Structure 1
Amino acid sequence: MAHRNVPQWVKSALELGPVIGFFVAYLYLKDEVFTIGGTEYDGFIVVTAGFIPVILASMGVLWWLTGHISRMQIVTAVLVVVFGGLTVWLNDDRFIKMKPTMVYLLLGGVLAIGLLRGQSYLRVVMGELLPMEQEGWMILTRRMTAFFFLLAASNEIVWRTQSTEVWVYFETFVLTGALFFFFIAQAGVIQKYSTVEED
């Protein structure tokens, strides 16, 4: 299916909407306990159960509108289904809390394999968005690899040592914001090695 252009705000809404929805639903239901089939589930488990179909529906709409879904989005959806499903099935919130760790370890691991082969897999994904010289891509890839491993370690520390509420805030705002500020911090490298000719 050919790629179709849609407004950036639509794509952002579909990508971030489920995450924000998860956060808002958690705030409303965090102190509730639901009895389903004779088993008690706290609000966090119920919200996780609702998050799975919502993120799948969001990805379906994104694919329908654009004709394209990135590999990262597919991997994230699979991990949400697996770890979210385990969370609900076993009534154990630890599994969904592990999901960001698995995502960042996977991303960092893939980039690290590329670096060991002298390649930047990041360039394969983002080359059209950020035209740069190979040296610039290697620098950015090394930094992002380390950054992903740092995020994975941070998530492990937070969910293992803090309350569920603290983790929800951390996962919703800190991890998301960290990626945004990381790319802002790389502006110097991107500008230095850019291959875009100025008029």
Structure 2
Amino acid sequence: MSTKQPAPGWLQPVTDYIPLALFLIAYLTTDILTATAVLIFATLLALVLSYSVARKIPVLALLAAGVVAVFGGLTLFFEDDLFIKIKPTIVQILFAVVLYGSYLFGRPVLKLVLGTAFPLKEEAWRPLTIRFSVFFLVMAAANEVIWRTQSTDFWVAFDTIGQIVITFIFMMTQVPFLLRHQLDENTETQDS
């Protein structure tokens, strides 16, 4: 009988942030088109790494990679950075829709993703899902405002560094909620 091993803790940060870091480095040393090609390649390599290590690819990572490939490919084909600039908007909206939609259909993705790290009371998943969905919609709106009103340099800084910092701050603001709604050990052992 085989037991499924969880993915190592380093895998998700590596597959999430290394493609962005390579995109930033390529942009700073070349141009937006080369950086886009690097992002596409690094994102596909991240999927391969995720599958080779964990023997699975998370659904949200697969969706994000698909959007990167499509919008990055359009950027390269048309030699127009518009497509790569709207990519974060599309990804953020997809995340919001998938998170909230999965909750409405009774299979909350957020619970599947965070449930083992943060075992919460059942009633906590709905407000947490709404918070994350709204956060992703706000980030989509911010991306739209920034790429339309700021320079490409500013947008690249926001897309790579800014979004990571804002996401980290958002996650830290959720810690009190997570602590208030975590399952206590007695509840966990009674449910087992």
Alignment check: 8 A CA contact 1:3 1:68 kept: no
Tell me: CA distance 1:9–1:119, structure 2 relative to 1, closer, same or farther (3 Å).
Answer: closer
For residues 160 and 122 of structure 2, the distance between their equivalents in structure 1, rounded to whole angstroms, comes to 33
For residues 61 and 126 of structure 2, the distance between their equivalents in structure 1, rounded to whole angstroms, comes to 23
More strand by proportion, 1 or 2?
A: 1
**Structure 1 position 192 matched with structure 2 position 158:** no
Deviations 1:99-125, CA, capped at 9 Å, x for gaps: 110011111123333555687442233
Paired residue total: 185
Gaps in structure 2 of 5+ consecutive residues: 187-192
Amino acid at match of 2:57: I
Deviations 1:131-157, CA, capped at 9 Å, x for gaps: 111221112111111111100000000
Once the two structures are superposed, the pairs formed by residues 5-24 of structure 1 within 5 Å of their partners are 7-24=8-25
Describe the SS at the equivalent of 1:8: coil
TM-score (norm 2): 0.86
TM-aligned CA deviation for residue 62 of structure 1: 2.1
Amino acid at match of 1:28: T
* Alignment RMSD (CA, Å): 2.2
For residues 194 and 71 of structure 1, the distance between their equivalents in structure 2, rounded to whole angstroms, comes to 25
**Structure 1 position 46 matched with structure 2 position 16:** no
Alignment check: 8 A CA contact 2:71 2:87 kept: yes
Deviates more, 1:147-156 or 1:135-144: 135-144
TM-aligned CA deviation for residue 160 of structure 1: 0.7
Equivalent position of 1:130 in the other structure:
118
Equivalent position of 1:176 in the other structure:
164
Alignment check: 8 A CA contact 2:22 2:38 kept: no
**Structure 1 position 140 matched with structure 2 position 128:** yes
For residues 96 and 196 of structure 1, the distance between their equivalents in structure 2, rounded to whole angstroms, comes to 44
Describe the SS at the equivalent of 2:166: helix
TM-score (norm 1): 0.84
Candidates 47, 50, 53, aligned match of 1:62: 50
TM-aligned CA deviation for residue 8 of structure 1: 2.6
Alignment check: 8 A CA contact 1:111 1:141 kept: yes
Alignment check: 8 A CA contact 1:115 1:142 kept: no
Gaps in structure 1 of 5+ consecutive residues: 30-42
